[in-house]
Amino acid sequence: MAKPHSYKFCFGPWNLSEGADPYGPPTRPVQSFDWKLDQLREHGFEAMMFHDDDAVPDIDSKSSAQLVKEAKSLSKRLKDAGVAAEMVAPRLWFSPHTIDGAYTNNDPKCRKYAIERSLRCIDIARAMDTDLIVLWLAREGTYIRESKDARRCVDYLVEAMDKMLGYDKKIRLAIEPKPNEPMDHAYLPTIGHALAVAQLTRDPKRVGCLIESAHALLAGLDPADEIDFAMAFDKLWSLHLNDQNGMKFDQDKPFGSNNLRIAFNQVRTLERTGYGRHGEYVCFDVHPFRPTQPNHWMDHLVNSRQTFLRLLEKARSFDDKQAQALVKDRNYQALDQLVIEHLLGK
Ligand code: XUL
Ligand code: MN
C-alpha cells in the first residue's frame, strides 16, 4: 500500500437541498449561497462543485461576456473564502430544448443548443479556474427503445465531446455514468461505456470519468470494482460517494448508510490505487432525508465525511498480511469473517 496521504473533501450547493420530491413540496426553506459556503468551510470541506447555473443563474438569457463576468465574481468570493471550484457541469436536462435528450436529441436544433450550452459551461469553468467539466448525461438515452437510433447516438455524443475538446485545449471531460433515471435506459450506463467512448474522441487523454457509488449500484455493479477499473486507465478524475439501497430511484443516501462493507471496499480501493494524489477531491453527492429539520441540515454531509474517515482508519489497519495468507490458502470463508470482525471492531 502507498504511503498514507490526506484526502480533500467537496460537495455542491444542490447537496443542501430543500426536500422537494416528485410527490411533495420542499420541507426546508431556501438558504443563501453564502450560508452554504460558510457551512462548507466550517465543516472541513475544501472545494465546491457546480452546475453551470449554480455558478451563474439564468444562463440562457445572458451574453457570454455577462456569464464570464458573473463567474469571475463568484470565483473571487470562493478564493476569498479559501475554497476551490472543483468542476462545472452543464445542466442539460432542464431546458425546453433538452426534453428528449441534449446531445442525442433527434432534432438538430436541440443538439445545437446542447453543444452551445456546453461551450458556455466551459467559459464559466475557465473563469472559475477549473479545467474539469463533468458530464452527467441525464437525458442521453430512451424512454422506449424505438424512439432513437442508438448507433447514431454514439456519433452524436462523440461529436459533442469533440466540439468541447476543440473549443478549449486545456479542459478535461469527466463522464459520470448512470444506467437509468430519468431515462429508462441511458446510453453510457457504466465506466466501461464512458471509457470506451473516450477512445473515439479527438483527444482520448482528456476524456475520463467520475464514479458515483449509487450509479454503479443501480447498474448492478460494485463501485469498488468500477474505481479499480477507472484507476487502471488513470482516468478517475472525480468521485461522488454516497449509498443506495437496491434497484430503485437514485437515493443519494449518506456514504456507508446502507452497506458499510461496500463503502469500506471503496475506501480501501481509493487507498490502494492512490486516488487524490494528483489533487482529485472526494465529493459527497448526498441529500438530506426529506424529514430532516433545518437545524440538522448539514448532518448528511458531516456524517458522510466522518464515515469516510472512520473507514479510512479501517482500511489502513486491515491486516493485509493475514488476508493475503488466507487468499493463498483459498480460505475465503475465513477471509470473509476477517473483514466482518474488522468492521465490527475486533
Ligand atoms: C444525478 C447526479 C448529478 C451529477 C451532477 O444523479 O449525480 O447530481 O452528479 O450533474
Ligand atoms: Mn453525482
Mean pLDDT by 10 residues, the chain (346 residues): 80 98 97 98 98 98 97 98 98 98 98 98 98 98 98 98 98 98 98 98 98 98 98 98 96 98 98 97 98 98 98 98 98 98 92
Contacts for 153-156: CB closer than 8 Å, 24+ residues apart: 153/104, 153/187, 154/187, 154/197, 154/200, 156/103, 156/104, 156/111
CATH number given to 9-319: 3.20.20.150
176 lines ligand 1 (CB under 6 A): yes
- d(CA 198, CA 172) in angstroms, rounded, equals 11
- What does the domain layout of the chain look like in residue ranges? 9-319
Ligand 2 centroid from CA 240, angstroms: 5
State residue 1's pLDDT score: 47
- The H-or-E segment that residue 323 falls in is helix 320-328
Ligand 2 centroid from CA 285, angstroms: 5
Nearest CA to ligand 1 atom 6: 250
Ligand 1 pocket: which of 21, 53, 285 to mutate (most atoms <8 Å of CB)? 285
The number of beta carbons lying within 10 Å of the beta carbon of residue 42 is: 10
pTM summary value? 0.97
